[in-house]
């Protein structure tokens, strides 16, 4: 990795800036589970040989490993998306009591507008709940500097620090100049200190008192820090803002006065009161929850907030104007194409078989969630990582209308599916669990996981055998099938559904994004085509209907031949080679 | 030193795999080399092969919001005719629509569709206050393969854009 310590210009995303800022902070250890929009933080850190960066199996494990590194005396970071932090809440709440040794920062990326998430929870609420400080950059350049502050705050106040990004901070790229480099810090030693690190009730009661004292000190810090800055211009209109909302408000009203909170918890009450006193009319602009607005109300500071409908979706410069005019949110219709499984995706034949079988499918989080959409429409629940197998257990035990199948991807199975399988076996559940193994963490852009046998850096490591772990958990049968063999897959599914057993079927075929080899594109013989539309029901982006003819786009077609298998009139065959 | 220059908003859009995001990145780097403050915004995730892709590039003396105000794009660069209607209303009245160059671009690159973005960037470059050398440096940094061809199609597009810039 070559980088210099003299000032130079860069064009970085918010996620890349966090990684470069962490490098500059002397971070020695980073761990995460991929999750849009946070994934590139670890991908960037993985390029730096000066530190150890890794994919963990889930966010709780990532958090705990990074926290362990902090106890060992090395600065450490964990990163996740908002719903990922839910998985790590257990260690978060109690490490807030214990505090840290070397600096420890928890980076979390929220997704207002739900571009790639199942909800739009506002992570800012976690900070007062856990009583840890909250840092919110509004841009990549701020992310670069603020993350370095976050490590200092963590060490100075002996606390994990929550560092909150949103999609528009994480995935915006900005040009800025900085001294990119690395600070090497003196070692801190690992100490045996049970009063601090063994949270049995007697110790935790004392630590809780410390936590309350610490939050008072952080309140003082929040009043003084330059992370919270006042820009006085036109005093008729003032804004209280944080995160990317600050930039939307500045875009809309560049001449107004601003108090921008880079550290929004603990809330700097005196600073805000001071600012409010100088301003004729104070507006509070924030995405998602009325987090700052509630605080203003609690402190009796008069300000104009937003209608509850603005808790939904992301803001924009126009939204700022609408909020100030006390309008309701008008939802802009989604103008993008509907997301589809890629041409040649191995999930498609598996869903084809599931749909024909008429089972109820408890689904999970991954590309395969797209199997829920018409016309495949072969997946019937999706809530959170690992929920498919426990949902399947409850559903199959408590009703007789449908046979149920759990569908889960390889990476999601490792994330939190294994515990569901063990519990299902332990409690005598019968039925079929289908692991859609495309041998990569695909939805977030193709990351390695234990079953691929490669690390974040692409180095060979021990490879987890899904077959062996399912057998060890007590599954009665483990079958491995190629999902493109739809007849074979149908037979094995039918057989296992008819047995009084708990069976795992692994449908294994690599994601097209990692295995780019392509067979010759398929072609439809228009003379033979009887318009039965079976191929269109596969919902393949390469197959479309144009002017009454069904045609295959040669450029998009991966040549998987699934359409050929379902065609009733034998009209589809491979064309010439590429 | 701050340059007194109004912010320019450019919207790139098309279908995944056409080089839309790479084009936006090259445009951003060229503007950065030209001394401007640049922000580029795009949405990742849930975008599979053949799905919709879009990216905004904003540059000027000081950029706040990563997103421009609605329907305020100064220039739109669409890479795909089917996608064109989806976001064409984002162009401000009096803005520059490069859609009229798409057919020419497709003809110029023939079956070498990977050079479509270089051609369109060439056209775009002819309308922006960024020096040719800054563009060529950005192309060179970002594109690892087929550098001479990319440069050729960029310059062809640039010539075409200049010809029609009356």
Rounded to 10 deg, the angle between the B116-125 and B132-142 helix axes is 160
If asked whether residues A106 and A90 sit together in one domain, one would say yes
Q: Per-residue pLDDT for B111 more than 90?
A: no
Q: Per-residue pLDDT for B4 more than 80?
A: no
Q: Which of B8, B49, B79, B87 to mutate to test the interface with A (most CBs of A within 10 A)?
A: B49
* Cβ <8 Å between A175 and B48: no
CATH of the domain at A165: 3.40.50.970
Concatenated DSSP letters of A12-56: EEHHHHHHHHHHHTT--EEEE---TTTTHHHHHHTT-TTSEEEE-
* Cβ <8 Å between B28 and A444: no
Sequence ranges of the domains in chain B: 8-164
Q: Which of B12, B28, B46, B114 to mutate to test the interface with A (most CBs of A within 10 A)?
A: B46
pLDDT category at A576 given cuts 50, 70, 90 is confident
Partners of residue B67 in chain A, C-beta under 8 Å: 168, 248, 316-317
Print the domain residue range for A534. 522-574
Chain A from 32 to 51: CB within 8 A of any B CB:
36-37
Number of Cβ within 10 Å of residue A22's Cβ equals 32
In a domain, A465, yes or no: yes
Q: What angle do CA A109, A454, A435 make, to 5 degrees?
A: 75
Q: What is the pTM of this model?
A: 0.95
HSE of A319 in the Cβ direction (CA atoms, 13 Å)? 28
Rounded to the nearest angstrom, the gap between the alpha carbon of residue A557 and the centroid of all alpha carbons in its chain is 30
Dump strand ranges (E) for A327-474. 360-362, 404-409, 431-437
HSE of A26 in the Cβ direction (CA atoms, 13 Å)? 16
Partners of residue B1 in chain A, C-beta under 8 Å: none
Q: Per-residue pLDDT for A187 more than 80?
A: yes
CATH of the domain at A254: 3.40.50.920
* Cβ <8 Å between A173 and B50: no
* Cβ <8 Å between A248 and B65: yes
Burial class (CB in 10 A: 0-12, 13-18, 19+), A421: buried
3-state secondary structure of A7: strand
CB pairs under 8 A between A and B: 116
If asked whether residues A37 and A165 sit together in one domain, one would say yes
* Closest partner CB to A541 (pick from B45, B49, B68): B49
**Could you give the C-alpha distances from A229 to A153, A226, A274, A414, B63, in angstroms and in order?**
17, 6, 12, 44, 19
In a domain, A83, yes or no: yes
Q: Per-residue pLDDT for B2 more than 50?
A: no
**Do the beta carbons of residue A165 and residue A140 sit within 8 Å?**
no
Partners of residue A316 in chain B, C-beta under 8 Å: 65, 67, 69-70
If asked whether residues A63 and A11 sit together in one domain, one would say yes
H helices of A481-570, where? Answer: 486-497, 562-566
Mean pLDDT across chain A, nearest whole number? 95
If asked whether residues A169 and A57 sit together in one domain, one would say yes
Nearest to A435 by CA among A458, A457, A407, A459: A407
In a domain, A330, yes or no: no
Q: Per-residue pLDDT for A422 more than 60?
A: yes
* Closest partner CB to B37 (pick from A175, A254, A342): A175
In a domain, A515, yes or no: no
Strand A52-55 and strand A29-32: the pairing is parallel
If asked whether residues A217 and A265 sit together in one domain, one would say no
Topology of the domain comprising B8-164: Pyruvate-ferredoxin Oxidoreductase; domain 3 (3.40.920)
Rounded to an integer, the average pLDDT of A71-79 is 98
For the ranges A3-12, A404-413, A542-551, the maximum mean pLDDT occurs at A404-413
* Closest partner CB to A342 (pick from B40, B49, B54): B49
- Calculate how close chain A gets to B66, using CA atoms only, in Å: 7
- Calculate how close chain B gets to A125, using CA atoms only, in Å: 24
If asked whether residues A193 and A49 sit together in one domain, one would say yes
Output the pLDDT for position A1. 40
Nearest to A385 by CA among A425, A427, A444, A451: A444
Q: Per-residue pLDDT for A12 more than 60?
A: yes
If asked whether residues A40 and A110 sit together in one domain, one would say yes
Q: Which of A165, A174, A346, A440 to mutate to test the interface with B (most CBs of B within 10 A)?
A: A174
Q: What angle do CA A143, A32, A130 make, to 5 degrees?
A: 70
pLDDT digits 0-9 by tens, A87-104: 999 999 999 999 999 999
* Cβ <8 Å between B70 and A168: no
- Calculate how close chain A gets to B51, using CA atoms only, in Å: 6
- Could you tell me the end-to-end alpha-carbon distance of chain B, in angstroms, rounded to an integer? 32
- CA dihedral for B67, B71, B73, B78, sign (positive or negative): positive
If asked whether residues A54 and A191 sit together in one domain, one would say yes
Output the pLDDT for position B3. 46
Output the pLDDT for position A554. 87
Q: Per-residue pLDDT for A552 more than 60?
A: yes
User: Could you give the number of structural domains in chain A?
Assistant: 4
If asked whether residues A206 and A79 sit together in one domain, one would say yes
Q: Per-residue pLDDT for A208 more than 70?
A: yes
Output the pLDDT for position A2. 40
Output the pLDDT for position B44. 60
pLDDT category at B50 given cuts 50, 70, 90 is low
Q: Which residue of A has its CA nearest to B113?
A: A555
The length of chain B is 166
């Amino acid at each position: 990795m070559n980088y210099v310590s003299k000032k130079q210009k860069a064009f970085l995303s918010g996620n890349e800036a966090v990684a470069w800022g962490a490098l500059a902070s002397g971070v020695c250890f980073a761990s995460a589970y991929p999750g849009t929009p946070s994934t590139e933080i670890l991908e960037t850190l993985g390029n730096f040989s000066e530190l150890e960066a890794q994919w963990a199996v889930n966010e709780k494990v990532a958090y705990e490993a990074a926290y362990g590194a902090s106890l060992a005396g090395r600065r450490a970071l964990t990163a996740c998306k908002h719903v990922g932090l839910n998985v790590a809440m257990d260690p978060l709440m109690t490490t807030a009591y214990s505090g840290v040794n070397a600096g420890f920062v928890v980076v979390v990326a929220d997704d207002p507008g739900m571009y790639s998430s199942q909800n739009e929870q506002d992570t800012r609420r976690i900070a007062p709940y856990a009583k840890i400080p909250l840092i919110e950059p509004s841009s990549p350049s701020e992310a670069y500097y603020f993350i370095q502050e976050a490590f200092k705050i963590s060490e100075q106040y002996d606390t994990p620090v929550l560092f909150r990004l949103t999609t528009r901070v994480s995935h915006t790229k900005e040009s800025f100049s900085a001294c990119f480099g690395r600070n090497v810090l003196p070692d801190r030693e690992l100490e045996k200190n049970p009063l601090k690190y063994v949270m049995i009730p007697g110790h935790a009661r004392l630590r809780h008192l410390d936590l309350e004292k610490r939050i008072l000190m952080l309140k003082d810090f929040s009043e003084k820090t330059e992370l919270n800055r006042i820009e006085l211009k036109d005093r008729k209109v003032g804004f209280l803002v944080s995160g990317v909302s600050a930039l939307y408000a500045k875009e809309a009203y560049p001449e107004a006065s601003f108090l921008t909170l880079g550290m929004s918890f603990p809330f700097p009450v005196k600073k805000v009161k001071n600012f409010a006193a100088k301003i004729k009319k104070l507006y509070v602009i924030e995405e998602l929850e009325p987090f700052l607005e509630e605080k203003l109300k609690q402190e009796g500071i008069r300000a104009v907030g937003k209608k509850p409908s603005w808790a939904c979706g992301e803001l924009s410069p126009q939204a700022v104007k609408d909020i100030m005019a006390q309008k309701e949110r008008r939802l802009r219709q989604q103008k993008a194409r509907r997301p589809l499984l890629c041409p040649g995706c191995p999930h498609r034949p598996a869903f084809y078989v599931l749909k024909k079988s008429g089972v109820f499918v408890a689904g999970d989080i991954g590309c395969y969630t797209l199997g829920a959409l018409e016309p495949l429409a072969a997946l019937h629940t999706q809530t959170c990582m690992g929920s498919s197998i426990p949902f399947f257990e409850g559903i199959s035990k408590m009703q007789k209308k449908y046979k149920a199948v759990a569908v889960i991807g390889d990476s999601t199975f490792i994330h939190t599916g294994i515990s569901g399988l063990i519990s299902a076996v332990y409690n005598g559940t019968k039925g079929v669990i289908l692991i859609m193994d495309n041998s990569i963490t695909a939805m977030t852009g193709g990351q390695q996981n234990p079953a691929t046998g490669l690390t974040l850096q692409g180095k060979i490591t021990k490879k987890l055998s899904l077959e062996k772990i399912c057998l060890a958990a007590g599954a009665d049968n483990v079958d491995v099938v190629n999902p493109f063999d739809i007849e074979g897959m149908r037979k094995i599914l039918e057989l296992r559904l008819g047995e009084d057993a708990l069976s795992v079927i692994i449908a294994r075929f690599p994601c097209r994004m990692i295995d780019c080899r392509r067979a010759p594109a398929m072609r439809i013989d228009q003379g033979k085509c009887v318009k039965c539309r079976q191929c269109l029901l596969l919902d393949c982006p390469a197959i479309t209907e144009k002017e009454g003819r069904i045609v295959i786009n040669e450029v998009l077609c991966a040549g998987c031949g699934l359409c050929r298998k379902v065609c009733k009139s034998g009209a589809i065959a491979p064309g010439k080679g590429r | 030193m701050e340059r007194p220059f109004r912010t320019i908003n450019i919207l790139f859009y098309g279908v995944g795999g056409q080089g839309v995001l790479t084009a936006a990145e090259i445009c951003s780097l060229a503007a950065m080399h030209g001394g401007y403050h640049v922000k580029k915004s795009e949405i990742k995730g849930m975008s599979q092969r053949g799905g919709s892709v879009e990216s905004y590039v904003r540059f000027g003396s000081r950029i706040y919001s990563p997103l421009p105000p609605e329907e305020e794009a100064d220039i739109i660069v669409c890479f795909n005719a089917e996608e064109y209607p989806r976001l064409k209303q984002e162009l401000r009245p009096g803005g520059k629509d490069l859609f009229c160059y798409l057919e020419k671009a497709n003809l110029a690159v023939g079956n070498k569709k990977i050079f479509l973005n270089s051609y369109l960037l060439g056209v775009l470059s002819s309308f922006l206050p960024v020096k040719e050398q800054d563009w060529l440096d950005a192309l060179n940094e970002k594109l690892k393969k087929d550098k001479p061809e990319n440069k050729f199609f960029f310059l062809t597009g640039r010539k075409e854009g200049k010809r029609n810039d009356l």
